[in-house]
Structure 1
Amino acid sequence: MTTPIQLHEVRKSYGSGPAAVTALAGLSIAFPAGSFTAVMGPSGSGKSTLLHCAAGLDEPTSGTVSLVGRSLAGMSENDLTLLRRDHVAFVFQAFNLMPALTVRENVMLPALLAGRRSDPARVSEVIRRVGLEERATHRPGELSGGQQQRVAIARALASDASVLFADEPTGALDSHTAAEVLTLIRDLADKGQTIVMVTHDPVAASYADNVVFLLDGRFVAEIATPTAAEVAERLAHLGSLAGNSASRGQR
């Protein structure tokens, strides 16, 4: 599977008539297997909508989306759920942990829901890798925000999913913890997982192989092997373009 995520001429609009808002405007993009791509752009550029459409969490108004070799067009919600369960992991700013379960139980939960038996040694290993070995029996309410995010990362590590979608995974973390989390995500890519990460942070984006930039729902630029400085400069330029566009729209 060389290209597990593909979007072709994807449009996504919300509302209808004069009040309709276009979030994606005929976007075509592909994410190769084993790649780590950061998606960036000014506020309202369509970043999260791209991720949600690619993951089958939101249905495009038109265009096609393929995920792990399967077209999402016409798939039932149940089939989409099964596809994501078997092939996709998520790390969001909202950690989505079960408060009544321990760290270890939260990490094991996706396998349990899929009817698979977790490998206890692997679960212990991923918990160790995220630095929570001594917290394995604690519940989310007993952890800091950074520790909860590490549980979410451990859950993604343990899932063996071929695709990981991350939406602002370090947005609520201090810089030290964010660096640890991004190193773990980078490690997943190095082991062959395909990662698409929405972020506003140039430092976070510098961990990726490639950064793609959106403006007004369109793909407008890309940087390979990015540095934080390069990303920040390009983002500032796009922000000024977005501001000029908004000003013209108000005249």
Structure 2
Amino acid sequence: MANAAVRLKAVRKEYGRVVALDGVDLAFPRGGCTAVMGPSGSGKSTFLHCAAGLDRPTSGSVQLDGEDLEKVSETKLTKLRRDRVGFVFQAFNLLPALTVAQNVELPLRLAGRRIDKRLIGQMLAYVGLSDRRKHLPGELSGGQQQRVAIARALVTRPAVLFADEPTGALDTHTAAEVLALLRNSVRSGLTVIMVTHDPVAAAHADRVVFLADGRVAGSLIRPTAAAVAERMTHLGAGAADAAVGGV
């Protein structure tokens, strides 16, 4: 992918004697949604941390929105994450003492950028919470809190949004609403990379990449929940060596 938003080349990550990632080569296209799946201990979290610039690989390279992360200083890396990367987690990570609007504004304030009230209004309208702007997080449902988190992640107009189990704490109906929001964001040009254990959530992606034992263990294009679930049953020890299918 010549115009990849994120690219990992031969990425290896070691924690002492533990090899969490073992030669991972992946590219993620701009304006696409990719789900990353694998058994517990497969390297999903380490992959996300390295791909998002939260952790540096032991060897190999990561390119994020055209920047080689190995060649940038910690200061520039911090600015890169702040300006070009959005994060959504299973735990909504909202500040309980701030209103909905203030939580959405927070990334702009931390970056020292001017608060554009019209932009904040647009973000809240996009996630369907225009009438909740003065509410505190504790006054919202779980699904509403996750929508606030999505608005906060999108307010800086990032190139890439990393979502770590974004529907893990939500019921089925609410999860579908959140996934639809992420899909709509992709249509506007955003790249979404979502780590999930849920085949239904993964089926909303354009592609699913499977990890096992720290290695890429195949992929599915235009996945269905049934196909994802079937592939997951075959992942385990040694699956990376035996897997078929391109990446």
Deviation at 1:58, TM superposition (A): 0.9
SS in 2 for 1:73: helix
Is residue 166 of structure 2 the alignment partner of residue 165 of structure 1? Answer: no
Task: Give the equivalent residue in structure 2 for 1:4.
Answer: 5
The CA deviation string for residues 37-77 of structure 1, in whole angstroms up to 9 with x for no partner, is 00001111111111100111011111111111111115332
Is residue 123 of structure 2 the alignment partner of residue 126 of structure 1? Answer: yes
8 Å CA contact retained: 2:213, 2:236: no
Task: Give the equivalent residue in structure 2 for 1:71.
Answer: 68
The CA deviation string for residues 180-202 of structure 1, in whole angstroms up to 9 with x for no partner, is 10000011111110111000001
SS in 1 for 2:234: helix
8 Å CA contact retained: 2:124, 2:130: yes
Question: How many residue pairs were aligned?
Answer: 239
Q: Distance in 1 between matches of 2:185 and 2:26?
A: 22
SS in 2 for 1:51: helix
Task: Give the equivalent residue in structure 2 for 1:45.
Answer: 42
Q: Distance in 2 between matches of 1:118 and 1:239?
A: 48
Deviation at 1:145, TM superposition (A): 2.2
Q: Distance in 2 between matches of 1:154 and 1:178?
A: 16
TM-score of the two chains, using structure 2 as the length reference: 0.91
Structure 1, unmatched stretches of 5+, are 246-251
The CA deviation string for residues 75-98 of structure 1, in whole angstroms up to 9 with x for no partner, is 332221101111110001122222
Report 1:1-251 matches (<5 A).
Answer: 2-15=3-16, 20-239=17-236
TM-score of the two chains, using structure 1 as the length reference: 0.90
CA RMSD in angstroms, aligned pairs only: 1.7
8 Å CA contact retained: 2:212, 2:237: no
Partner amino acid, structure 1, of 2:145:
Q
SS in 2 for 1:238: coil
Task: Give the equivalent residue in structure 2 for 1:248.
Answer: none
Partner amino acid, structure 2, of 1:21:
V
Q: Distance in 2 between matches of 1:133 and 1:202?
A: 31
